[in-house]
Structure 1
Amino acid sequence: MAENIVQRLRDEIENGIVTNQFAPGDRLDEMQLAKHFGVSRTPIREALMQLGAIGLIEMRPRRGAVVVEPGPHRIYEMFEVMAELEGMAGSLAARRHTDTDRTGLLAAHARCEHSANADDADTYYYDNELFHHAIYTASHSSFLIEQCTALHRRLRPYRRLQLRVRNRMKTSFSEHGGIVEAILSGEAELARTLLRQHIAVQGDRFSDLVATLSQREAHSG
């Protein structure tokens, strides 16, 4: 239960940062956040530590937690690198996957189908995360798994936010179908290409979303 509370708080604060409710340079006061969310400071502190681990905030002397969101260009660069890493993971998974990997990938794909059909973007995000981790695992490259996992974690708030762009969730799931088929049929280069395109689209969609959020902020200002 405590872990679920921390996750919910982390997600709420993440959303606040990526939608500019908390702007770069803003101080995130533990006591104010605890009062706002109606919780103690302990889960707030844990949520802030997790956000610090992915680079959204940093702890500064005498100021505490401060928002240090990277700019859109930096985020786009991270998506570019993520696309290459995921493409490599898909290629290796196509060549190396075991029966256990096949079962795990199909199970993750089925979960994504359920949440996509329910039009539940938040649940789909976490099911989507499991889907991509199933691909990493099937690559059987421990170093690549570490790198993919680390960058996936850093891009987490932006990957979740872009799923709310119109039709992106259904498109994402449709792309998963081709990726699964390529991996399980051993088509390494096709799996690489499809995964690179899958992640690159996320980067493009995020750019569109940034423009939309900027317009919304300008109208509300």
Structure 2
Amino acid sequence: MSEAGARRAVPAQPARTSVDAIRLEIARRIVTGELEPGKPLDESGLASEFGVSRTPVREALRQLASSGLVQQRPHRRTIVTKPSEKALSDMFDVMAYLEGLCANLCAKVIPPSERKALEDLHAQMGALMRAGDAQGYAQANEYFHNAIYDGTQNAYLIEITFSTRMRLQPFRRAQFDTLGRLAASHAEHTAVVNAILQGDRRAAEEAMRNHIGLVEEAWHEFAGDAQDASAMNRLQEP
């Protein structure tokens, strides 16, 4: 199977390296407010908590730094830091344009075998949505967007779009904890897939840009709820 095909296949039980698991858990704590801006992150303490050496913890923190979720300083502890609302909005704007361009080009040049794979993947995601499997859907969502990037047949566009998405990944992933988001996301994907399969470049681009805009809205809704819950928990502490 090609690398692109491997990315599109949805594993029954998605494998995750310790680095990925650590990165996602720390990201979850930051975006939900459990870890507040300015809090130092101790590599030894995290390694002990996750039952690993400091090496995967160090790599996870390095990846989080590229997302703007932590700040690494020479000879000092890594600290929690979130991108500003303006910085996040700017990143989502660029993401919408890049993914819209991918959908547009994909509608024009995607090979027949990849068209079928995209259609099948979308159907699988429908089953995950109906089952309420948020974790499985979130994992499959990454394969879905990769499939559209691959469908452009443009290596440079794939590279810069994937890189931008990785910076936003913790914020995009958190959206699936918002009530009703799985069904809404799948409906938005349906519009994108239908346009691509019909070769309608303009509609594909518009549907994808609309999708990313709604992802941003879902993130802000989730973040607001998480901050309210965090503040309530602090008030209830003895």
TM-score, structure 1 normalization: 0.92
Counterpart in 2 of 1:28?
Answer: 41
Deviation string, structure 1 residues 87-115 (Cα, Å, up to 9, x no partner): 11111111111113213312332332232
Counterpart in 2 of 1:69?
Answer: 82
SS of structure 1 residue aligned to 2:92: helix
Counterpart in 2 of 1:163?
Answer: 176
Counterpart in 1 of 2:17?
Answer: 4
Match of 1:172 among 185, 192, 208: 185
Distance 2:80 2:18 in 1: 21
The farther-off stretch of 163-172 and 134-143 is 134-143
Distance 2:15 2:121 in 1: 25
Partner AA of 2:35 in structure 1: F
Residues 1:172 and 1:219: Cα distance change in structure 2 (over 3 Å): same
Distance 1:120 1:54 in 2: 26
Match of 2:66 among 46, 53, 56: 53
Match of 1:111 among 124, 147, 151: 124
Following TM superposition, by how much is the alpha carbon of 1:169 offset from its aligned partner in structure 2, in angstroms?
A: 1.0
Distance 2:112 2:91 in 1: 32
Alignment of 1:35-46 (within 5 A): 35-46=48-59
In structure 1, runs of 5+ residues without a counterpart are none
The percent of aligned pairs where both chains have the same amino acid is: 38
SS of structure 1 residue aligned to 2:72: strand
Match of 1:140 among 127, 130, 153: 153
Counterpart in 2 of 1:184?
Answer: 197
Partner AA of 2:115 in structure 1: R
Counterpart in 2 of 1:151?
Answer: 164
Distance 2:199 2:15 in 1: 41
SS of structure 1 residue aligned to 2:177: coil
The farther-off stretch of 49-58 and 186-195 is 49-58
Distance 1:125 1:3 in 2: 13
TM-score, structure 2 normalization: 0.86
In structure 2, runs of 5+ residues without a counterpart are 1-13
SS of structure 2 residue aligned to 1:128: helix
The alignment yields a C-alpha RMSD, in angstroms, of 1.9
Partner AA of 1:81 in structure 2: V
SS of structure 1 residue aligned to 2:132: coil
